[in-house]
Amino acid sequence: MSFMRPEVIDGVLLAQGRRLFCWLPVGVGLGAVGYFAVPFEPGWVWAVCGLAMGLGGTVLGWRSVRWRVLGLVVVCASGGFLDAWGEAHRQVPMPALPMRATVLSGRVAQVEALPEERGGALRLTLRGVVFETGLDIGMDPMRRDLRLRLRADDPVAPHVGDVVRVRAMLRGVPWPSWPGGRDLQREAWFSGLGGNGYALGPVSVVSAGGGGWRLAAVREAVGRRIMAVLPDQRGAIAATVLVGESSAIAPGVRQAFAASGLAHLLAVAGLHLGLVMGCVLVCVRGGLALSERAALFWPCREIAAVCALLAGAGYVVLTGAHLPAVRALGMAGFAVLALLTGRRVMSMRVLALVALGILVVSPVMVLDVSFQMSFAAVMGLVAGYEVLREPLARVRGEGGVVRVAGHWLAASGLTSLLAGLATLPVGVAHFGVVQPWFVLANLVAVPLAAVWVMPCGVLALLVMPLGLEGPVLHVMGWGIGGIMVLARWVAGWPLAQEAVPAMPGWGVLLVLLGLCVVCVWRGRGRWLGVVPLGVGVMSVFLVARPVVLVAPDAGVMAVRAGGALLVGLHSGLERAVVEDWARGLALPVRDLPCAGGVCRVVAVGVPVLLRVVDGRDGAEVPACGGARVFVSASPARGACAGQVVVDRFSVWREGAFAVFGDGRAVSDRTWRGARLWVPEVGFRGMPNLRMAVAE
């Protein structure tokens, strides 16, 4: 085969030119994915050996392009693996939380207002927590945060920086709802979260204020003033786009925005940063043009660009430095630098450089949905406009109202289409839904946010120190209200949100690699990326689906039968688990008919016996009756020998279970393996007391 000859490979690689640099973050990301994918805790020795081999191959094969590229790929992958290993081992161990109600105290790091649908209470993030239980007297302050939900009728509203004291019930980070589901324990391991809880009594403020909390206090104060002017969901959305506080948005509003393809407007991202910088750029440039001397002798464009960048940096810090905004700020910084130095900005290389910086600082971000969605959207935009820049220029022509309007309409629709198509498979992978009307909704919502909502928001922030934000926020609220009406309207269209089963991890990897090839590779070879992209999308239909699911605490169990998910008796505490199951299988939820706490059902041809309730702790075991799978909320006591048996002891040791039609029973511990963030059997956390001094 001629295309496999060394000189042909070298020619193909040389034709990519400087575009090969864009593959460096891909290599680092693959190395990080390799660390997180294995079901055991790997050592660093293999990564160091790979790093040495890659460097040696690069040096020895420097005259050959193919060996040089291969060596750099090995270096990047080994470096990403080693970086991920180091980040994981630098984290603080999970603390031992009291198993009973306890009195605790800590400093408030964040205050979030929950929507009415979730009780309308406040949720605090506490730092430096100390327990007042007998076993923890004299403990050092916790090095991990605790997230605590207060009572809805609590008369005290703590502020950021306050030291509070409250009696609460705590619990560790929950296990995944099903093997292969979202791993909250891994996310907590890297985010610094140590557990969750809820208050049993009123909270008291021990001391007010404190140093080191000024930025968070400013964010909280701005959010409170916004909600004071707009106390409804318009205020919740305004607080989201201006200070990054999205906890008060109601689930129904989120659902409407997600179904209409407008969910990106509820997260601080590059769109919001671009609008803020655009407002500042236009205002500064227009203001300088009013002065004849400044217009003639000052570099007005450069001054306006620097002011816009500074305003954008302040906005990113104020909103909590969310990953998409940080990515956009990095690209904006390179754009301003190129403007100041008189050089042209190479967008794809700048995007690669920003991605490389983020992955080097925190390689776990490669698994983050916001990282994947943000970079996929920008990759699609950059690659699309590289191809369609000249056709758009011909549409604009020499100007004129009609041509300019046509150019603006075409550019707006193309932007929504490119970003939506690039993020569509990633959204399917993580959220299990397809929104076919996203282009039409964004054609109206994005311009409305650009010319109405965000300019009013910037003005409100500027006049807030003077106490004049009220009228401006009301005007901003009218624009937000229009977007909400649009979101609900589009969400009500037929096929607005089609559910699809969960995508396996290897399918997500193929989707992202296919996107990278299509967007980054130059020439007709980029269309080869459609193959892994298509296989990744189709992977949702290529993997086996479980027929029986058991929650991590055996509190709820379900079977897949009759085109629905039949769920046994459960309380409101297991609602989130059931929602995860329904989303992962893309099935409606129905009640499982049971008599006396025992259910017999044929799930996709598999006879299943479930004991959902047993107040006698398994003292009496029903006859198996030919059931191939026996699931019990209590200890099985040796029932149904030789069959697939999952009971309370099983989930205590192994976490959630999924049973397949071929008789395989896969536990969460088997799926994730022995990792740093997976608790060992019976492990309750690292003791909080100091170790005894050695003699």
- The pLDDT of residue 203 is 92
Residue 193, by phi and psi: left (phi above 0), alpha (psi -120 to 50) or beta?
beta
Could you give the CA distance from residue 148 to residue 151 in angstroms, rounded to a whole number?
Answer: 10
pLDDT tens digit string along 462-473? 888 888 888 999
- The pLDDT of residue 246 is 80
Residue 630 host element (H or E): strand 629-632
Together in a domain, 208 and 244 = no
Cβ contacts of 16 within 8 Å, gap of 6 or more: 521, 522
Together in a domain, 326 and 453 = yes
pLDDT tens digit string along 68-113? 888 888 888 899 999 999 999 999 999 989 888 999 999 998 888 8
Inside any domain, residue 360: no
- The pLDDT of residue 398 is 58
Calculate ∠ Cα 624-628-629, nearest 5°: 85
Among 31-45, 207-221, 244-258, 469-483, which is the least confidently predicted range? Answer: 207-221
Could you give the CA distance from residue 527 to residue 521 in angstroms, rounded to a whole number?
Answer: 9
Inside any domain, residue 383: no
Could you give the CA distance from residue 593 to residue 185 in angstroms, rounded to a whole number?
Answer: 33
pLDDT tens digit string along 287-319? 888 888 888 888 888 888 899 899 988 888 888
Together in a domain, 108 and 239 = no
Residue 521 lies in domain: 505-541
Together in a domain, 529 and 625 = no
Contact (CB, 8 A) for 454 and 241: yes
pLDDT at 490 over 80: yes
Inside any domain, residue 401: no
Residue 430: pLDDT band (50, 70, 90) is confident
Contact (CB, 8 A) for 563 and 587: yes
The alpha helices in 550-626, defined as continuous H runs, are 575-585
Inside any domain, residue 689: no
Inside any domain, residue 366: no
- The pLDDT of residue 117 is 67
pTM for this structure? 0.88
How many domains is the chain built from?
5
The alpha helices in 61-123, defined as continuous H runs, are 65-89
Could you give the CA distance from residue 69 to residue 58 in angstroms, rounded to a whole number?
Answer: 7
Together in a domain, 512 and 493 = no
Q: Which of 180, 197, 212 is the last residue of a domain?
A: 212
Together in a domain, 302 and 164 = no
- The pLDDT of residue 562 is 78
Together in a domain, 340 and 486 = yes
Cβ contacts of 132 within 8 Å, gap of 6 or more: 102, 103, 104, 105
Together in a domain, 206 and 248 = no
- The pLDDT of residue 265 is 83
Together in a domain, 194 and 222 = no
Closest residue by Cα to residue 94 from 199, 198, 186: 186
Inside any domain, residue 399: no
Mean of the pLDDT values across residues 390-397? 66
If you count them, how many residues does the chain have? Answer: 695
Could you give the CA distance from residue 335 to residue 382 in angstroms, rounded to a whole number?
Answer: 14
Within a 13 Å sphere around the CA of 160, how many CA atoms are in the beta-carbon half? 19
Inside any domain, residue 466: yes
Residue 526, by phi and psi: left (phi above 0), alpha (psi -120 to 50) or beta?
alpha
pLDDT tens digit string along 559-594? 988 788 888 877 666 788 888 898 888 888 888 877
Q: Which of 89, 118, 134 is the last residue of a domain?
A: 89
Together in a domain, 580 and 606 = yes
By three-state DSSP, how is residue 654 classified? helix
Inside any domain, residue 680: no
Distance of alpha carbon 336 from its chain centroid, rounded?
Answer: 29
Q: Which pair of structure tokens corresponds to residue 646?
A: 């999952």
Together in a domain, 169 and 268 = no
Together in a domain, 489 and 512 = no
